[in-house]
């Protein structure tokens, strides 16, 4: 199984920014721990602050991978273009958020991406990514 994690804007600052919301661990060591926890899965990671680069990555892998896990950051609430890219590809996508977006500012309560995703996971810290990976593993094979 081949899964791609895509992180959007400002997620390169995990471990440095707003630690009370996002924690104090940067994504790279967490990603290494995911690879250790799921050795049977080929996990890849891409982060970019640019909407166009995220769309290009979805287009690049969206017909070949078994799944995409996306945390589009603030683009979740603003990007029709990323939502359209997700709708255009055949690879299933799970939207993730580190924080519980529904317990935050009202503008974070709406996702343009969600209707084109197979599921949304929010509020479990970095473990939201782990839950998303587990959602792609067929029952009985974990």
pLDDT tens track for 116-137: 999 999 999 999 999 999 999 9
| Catalytic residue (one of 65, 75, 97, 129) | 97
- pTM as predicted: 0.90
Q: Is 55 part of a structural domain of the chain?
A: yes
Cα–Cα distance, 99 to 104 (Å, whole number): 8
Does residue 46 have a pLDDT over 90?
yes
Q: Is 142 part of a structural domain of the chain?
A: no
| Catalytic residue (one of 22, 45, 65, 129) | 22
Domain containing 81 — which CATH number? 3.40.50.9100
Q: Is 86 part of a structural domain of the chain?
A: yes
Q: Is 64 part of a structural domain of the chain?
A: yes
pLDDT tens digits, one per residue of 11-23: 887 766 555 665 5
Q: Is 27 part of a structural domain of the chain?
A: yes
pLDDT tens digits, one per residue of 67-126: 999 999 999 999 999 999 999 999 999 999 998 888 777 777 789 999 999 999 999 999
Residue 119 phi, psi (nearest 5): -170, 165
Q: Is 94 part of a structural domain of the chain?
A: yes
Number of domains in the chain: 1
Radius of gyration of the chain (CA): 14
Q: Is 38 part of a structural domain of the chain?
A: yes
Residue 109 a catalytic site member = no
Residue 22 a catalytic site member = yes
């Amino acid at each position: 199984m081949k899964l791609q994690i895509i992180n959007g804007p400002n997620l390169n600052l995990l471990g440095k920014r707003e630690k009370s919301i996002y924690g104090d661990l940067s994504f790279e060591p967490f990603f290494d721990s995911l690879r250790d926890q799921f050795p049977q899965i080929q996990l890849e990671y891409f982060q970019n602050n640019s909407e166009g680069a995220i769309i290009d990555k979805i287009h690049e892998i969206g017909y070949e991978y078994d799944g995409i896990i996306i945390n589009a950051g603030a683009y979740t609430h603003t990007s029709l273009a990323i939502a359209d890219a997700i709708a255009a590809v055949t690879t299933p996508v799970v939207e993730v958020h580190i924080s519980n977006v529904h317990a935050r500012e009202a503008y974070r309560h709406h996702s343009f991406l969600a209707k084109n995703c197979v599921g949304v996971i929010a509020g479990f810290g970095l473990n939201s990514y782990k839950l998303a990976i587990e959602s792609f593993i067929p029952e009985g094979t974990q």
